[in-house]
Amino acid sequence: MKETYFHSVQITQAACRGCTFCVKHCPTEAIRVRNGKALILPNRCIDCGTCIRNCPFRAPQAKTDQLSRLKDFRYNIVLPPPSLYSQFNENIHRESIWQGLMQLGFDEIFDVALASDYIAVEIEKFIHEHAGEHKTYISCACPAVLRLIQVKFPELIPLIIPVLPPAEAAAIYIKNKIAREKHLPKEQIGVWFIAPCPSKGANIHQPVDVVHPEITGAFTVSAIYSLIMKNKKNLPAEKFTRPVSKGSSYGMGWGVYGGELKSAGLTNAIAVHGLAEVRDVLEQLSLNKMPGLDYVECSACQSGCVGGPLVSENRFVAETNLKRRIHNMRLREPSTRAATLKAVLTCEGFPHSAEYVKPLQPRPMMSLDADINVAMQKVERMEEILQGLPGLDCGVCGAPSCMCLAEDIVQGRAHEMDCIFKLRAQVKKLAYGMAELSRQLPLTGGNTMDDGLVAPAEDKNHET
């Protein structure tokens, strides 16, 4: 029962020089260099995009859609997230950005921030209703975090809050609305997300948490940003008159870490950003070391979605842009969060998460074999192999650590001689053997062939 996983992140073989940078940085040990090229182990990759950030040769790329796909649909809806707005200075009005989107060929816009406003209310209600359980729930907004939980912390799956990711909720709502109003079959409506990261792209093609997903595809924030900027002259001075349902400053805040907590009004909660930190907090949660905490907001990227690997702007600049925009919006909003949300939540029939979310399935990446007896034998063998490896985690073999090489060897994916130290010891042994052999040959001339090679005293496997 081999499962296949769709991945957005792919390595352009021609660009890869086999340097092992990505191998060493990958948070799930999903990359190996084989024959001088990096390869992704599909059952481990969580599409976080860490490799995209770290490759000096730009070999890892996120597979996203081409704008030309819009012509395959009769009606196209675009879902701009806060991270798109974060690319622009706050003086550029949302309306101007929308105008730029319409010029790219979209027919309709739905602000993802508005969906976040809806989901925030659901989160607040859920946490309130479950307050007596003494459980710490985990945000579901970042698909890379969900995938990390699937592969490394499956025991935490029951703690993921059962609400829809905002972009999905937006897609369900707006697609149904347009289908109804324009009398179009849903297959002829394209719904496009603008993604700040590959994990959101991957989640569209293979959602881990949504039944009947409605998003058609994704473009990157950086691609859309540069297209809008190309037409910059056209950003209208005159008013953009099309009615667009817009989210509040709270929904907009979801683009930066901490924003989700603020919009759901949660105070007995923490926000964690950056994959290393997220792993750390998940470890602590798993050990039950934070009892009494209601909620943890997690984003794989530092600073949150504004720091995604597929945005153009530096993350601090983007964070500043978005925070300024939020600040300006708040000046014009009612004074309380409740009143602000009430004023924007006017979409009739906005989907309730309960009908659409499905529990995450664990992804067994760690287990060495489906048969527990075989797996136990493999663990023993792995331990033996590991004892013989240098333990330097140098990465020259193409695996991120000696432990991973040992695992690859028991799984038949690698050979002990892939280890440079093992190889060197073996070469030395062979060289000595050959020298020995040469001494036993009848000498034809007066010279000996002794080149000073001596027998390795005690084969220590390797030198350090």
Partner 1 sequence: MAEIKALKLAFDVPGANFDRAGEASAKLKRTLQQVGVPAEVIRRVAIGSYEGEINLIIHAGGGQLQAEIYPDHTRVIVSDQGPGIPDVKEAMQEGYSTASEEARAMGFGAGMGLPNMYNCADAFEIQSKVGWGTIITMDFKHQDR
**Which residues of this chain interact with partner 1, rule CB under 8 A?**
154-155, 157, 283, 286-288, 362, 364, 366-370, 372-380, 382, 407
CA dist 264 and 24 (Å) reads 37
Give least dist CB 208 to partner 1, A: 16
Residue at token pair 């027998």: 455
Give least dist CB 274 to partner 1, A: 20
Q: Which is nearer to partner 1, 234 or 367 (CB)?
A: 367
Positive or negative CA dihedral for 152, 158, 160, 163? positive
Q: Which is nearer to partner 1, 287 or 437 (CB)?
A: 287
Give least dist CB 172 to partner 1, A: 30
Give least dist CB 371 to partner 1, A: 8
Question: Is 159 in contact with 137 (CB distance < 8 Å)?
Answer: yes
CA dist 405 and 415 (Å) reads 8
Residue at token pair 């700040």: 196
Give least dist CB 136 to partner 1, A: 13
**What is residue 38's three-state secondary structure?**
strand
Question: Is 88 in contact with 321 (CB distance < 8 Å)?
Answer: yes
Give least dist CB 365 to partner 1, A: 9
Q: Which is nearer to partner 1, 172 or 282 (CB)?
A: 282
Question: Is 202 in contact with 246 (CB distance < 8 Å)?
Answer: no
User: 63 has which bridge partners?
Assistant: none
Q: Which helix (H) or strand (E) holds 280?
A: helix 275-286
Q: Which is nearer to partner 1, 188 or 286 (CB)?
A: 286
User: 220 has which bridge partners?
Assistant: 195
DSSP characters for 47-73? ---HHHHH-TT--EEE----GGGGGGS
Q: Which helix (H) or strand (E) holds 172?
A: helix 166-182
Q: Which is nearer to partner 1, 67 or 159 (CB)?
A: 159
Single-letter code of the amino acid located at 2: K
Question: Is 318 in contact with 307 (CB distance < 8 Å)?
Answer: yes
Q: Which is nearer to partner 1, 184 or 386 (CB)?
A: 386
Q: Which is nearer to partner 1, 280 or 355 (CB)?
A: 280
